[in-house]
Structure 1
């Protein structure tokens, strides 16, 4: 029965993909003829329209060219000391198209004939299913798919990336790829997260590219540990305590204090640049109203988030520490990849799947330590992922061991040692929106 369901799900994804191809004739022609400079604004327009249709909004429609993107990336490289590149990954019926834009350079197009959508999308599904179950034996069953996807999506561009000393990759992904755990792609020796800071965006025109240093930004930390309709999150009180401690916040808000009214009240009292919500957040099939963030007493639906007016005062970063996404569903991936835009924040950090309580606690407690010194948000997350991968952050003998030293966990969280080096624990978390 599971195999039948998976096949039906794959068939639906492919049907939606091929349906979208029918409406992309100008883009297809530009890509087929190698007119990559012409293709870039067409990619932007095509994908922006997909997000407009999903969220039922009209985004501002500025004309953007490959030269505009390259110029912006150059400015950000100067401001941040990090050298970024944008990669459009365009799945098509007969091949995969890659378009690379780097600072001050003309765009580069690479065609991967070995990866048509009918081959690529099942491999993505296989990879996602394997990596989200750390109980599989052997534990590296995800690796062949991780290496194959790397070969298709990164290897054709490696020479250009190395020659230009790129250290930050911004992925703009097409249908079926928007919830791909990018950081766990593997070149045979290293994970992608060991080589680059990473983020995913819905479109460059939908990304806030203004840089702001948030290393000392105030954090509003809120969350819930018990729910009526969800499994409990017993680590949340400890997570919020550690977030508050590591950011020198004066307090945090738990359970009954985690309401929409209090969230708005705290935002009115202080211009928090970072909002950390330790609670369930589900990105589900269907319309945006089916996806939500669970508050103590209510659900905040995805289609309601713009009403929060988080642009004034502006929120630089929204962190959701216990998310779950219907991987492989076109609408769910639109909701996830469009999270920052819909929430009205510059960037979001969220998980593609629900990670264990202690794994989330370990990653989040270390993230805010790294955020105090990293030049950009995506680099802070990368450093945390590497720390888990290399077991520098770990749970051992009832203690959370990290860069700040050991922290004794309460008995309900102590339990057995957990190997947090598996990508299940760290590859779920991703930057959505601006990496800066």
Structure 2
């Protein structure tokens, strides 16, 4: 949402590439599933004994078709990346395929949604895909055409095409969206269908953590029309406990006026519709949107499980202390998130309706995918690029409406995105609600077409999708 500085580094979760590649010049070449030999006791012993800061090479395990052994090595390797960027020391413990599958099975029983976890590992010569489902046995696919250079160049082209204002009323993004789908979803889709998976969780290697997966396209429909989606930094870094949010209260805060940023005229309406029926909660605007008030509200009431911040966020390249969320009278830099005590009690969901990623910055994508970890919240919803005021207002309204009725958070975001891409919702539909009127700056946008992925694909759920 909103016109923010073009660099965002930290958040969101949620990029290092150059050049572009024609969507038609490279065809996917998918090998047969790799066999899963579980006989390497020596390698397993090495995994258990090795500290997370210096893990063995997962590439060797994948090359030897030792998929069960490779998964904890992937987790340890990526954990080190987040540990270095976020400056957080994580517990030195490994996680196994069996433990992941057991957790996914429990979530299925609790929510009625069946999740599948997909590791995507870009390598110089190919893309490695590892799928884990409640059934337990990991499925490994290798895509030889999607070498690292070709894949990351195509990702860059995809984002540039979607966010290009000149192409906002065209479908120029479709060829690239379909090629990416062919490379990273199609190889495992028969298994997803066979096992009835309807919730996809992506655990991603460098260069992929800022990809708007919702906008990938199979030639008939978008990925988000088929699955609810979420991004995690690593499974062991994710709080996987399920909590039903239907009876939660919302603390919604934001600003529409700034001294050194453009105004955000939609924010007063956004806060109003979020805290109206069917939700209960409090909203604070402009001069009441202070860090002191935020801390007091969370510390005194202790019943806000959802925190919504509608304001400018400037996420710059570099470490978390370079990035901030703008409050009324101060800036909250991301390196002091953990000092806010908004994890006691736990904030189940943090929503940032105005943020943007520095496309091309490696640390930016680590910040984006590691958002929930750094903020000490279970889940976060934020955008990969700056979306229009009106588009954000519509999506947030639909998201909170759906959150009251669907079983998991990722499904609520999915329903909001589908409503926009199918043109079922608009700014005009908001004015049908009682006590809601649009400011003059937005009234002229009543008929704005919000079906293009620019308006809805940026919003990503990071962390626990349930």
Q: TM-score surpassing 0.5?
A: yes
Matches within 5 A, 1:63-82: 63-82=94-113
**Distance (Å, rounded) in 2 between the aligned partners of 1:133 and 1:332:** 20
Q: Deviation digits for residues 82-125 of structure 1, max 9, x if unmatched? A: 00000000000000000000003210110000000110000000
Give the structure 2 partner of residue 352 of structure 1: 384
1:91 to 112, 115, 122: 122
Q: Please tell me whether residue 410 in structure 1 is matched to residue 410 in structure 2.
A: no
Per-residue deviation, 1:141 = 1.2
Q: Deviation digits for residues 241-297 of structure 1, max 9, x if unmatched? A: 111114443531011111110000111221210000001123321111112211111
Q: Please tell me whether residue 106 in structure 1 is matched to residue 113 in structure 2.
A: no
Q: Please tell me whether residue 10 in structure 1 is matched to residue 10 in structure 2.
A: no
The question of whether the paired residues in 2 share the 8 Å contact of 1:224 and 1:236 is answered with yes
Runs (5+) with no aligned partner, structure 1:
1-7, 13-22
Q: Deviation digits for residues 412-433 of structure 1, max 9, x if unmatched? A: 2101421111111110101000
Runs (5+) with no aligned partner, structure 2:
1-14, 20-53
**Distance (Å, rounded) in 2 between the aligned partners of 1:250 and 1:82:** 28
**Distance (Å, rounded) in 2 between the aligned partners of 1:115 and 1:366:** 36
**Distance (Å, rounded) in 2 between the aligned partners of 1:138 and 1:365:** 23
Give the structure 1 partner of residue 314 of structure 2: 282
Give the structure 2 partner of residue 268 of structure 1: 299
Q: Please tell me whether residue 420 in structure 1 is matched to residue 450 in structure 2.
A: yes
| Secondary structure, aligned partner of 2:460 | strand
| Secondary structure, aligned partner of 2:280 | coil
Over 3 Å counting, the alpha-carbon distance change for 1:432 and 1:35 in structure 2 is same
Per-residue deviation, 1:80 = 0.7
**Distance (Å, rounded) in 2 between the aligned partners of 1:348 and 1:216:** 18
Q: Deviation digits for residues 292-326 of structure 1, max 9, x if unmatched? A: 21111111111110111222111000000011111
Q: How many residues align?
A: 416
Per-residue deviation, 1:406 = 10
The question of whether the paired residues in 2 share the 8 Å contact of 1:224 and 1:254 is answered with yes
Bigger shift: 246-255 or 27-36? 246-255
Matches within 5 A, 1:1-400: 10=17, 26-136=57-167, 139-271=170-302, 272-396=304-428, 400=430
The question of whether the paired residues in 2 share the 8 Å contact of 1:170 and 1:199 is answered with yes
With structure 1 as the length reference, what TM-score do the two structures score?
Answer: 0.92
With structure 2 as the length reference, what TM-score do the two structures score?
Answer: 0.86
Higher relative contact order (CA 8 A, sep 6+): 2
**Distance (Å, rounded) in 2 between the aligned partners of 1:409 and 1:323:** 22
**Distance (Å, rounded) in 1 between the aligned partners of 2:448 and 2:330:** 33
**Distance (Å, rounded) in 2 between the aligned partners of 1:246 and 1:347:** 23
| Secondary structure, aligned partner of 2:150 | helix
**Distance (Å, rounded) in 2 between the aligned partners of 1:61 and 1:25:** 14
Q: Deviation digits for residues 152-180 of structure 1, max 9, x if unmatched? A: 10000011000000000000011001010
The question of whether the paired residues in 1 share the 8 Å contact of 2:101 and 2:135 is answered with yes
1 or 2, which has the higher helix percentage? 1
Give the structure 1 partner of residue 31 of structure 2: none
**Distance (Å, rounded) in 1 between the aligned partners of 2:144 and 2:417:** 32
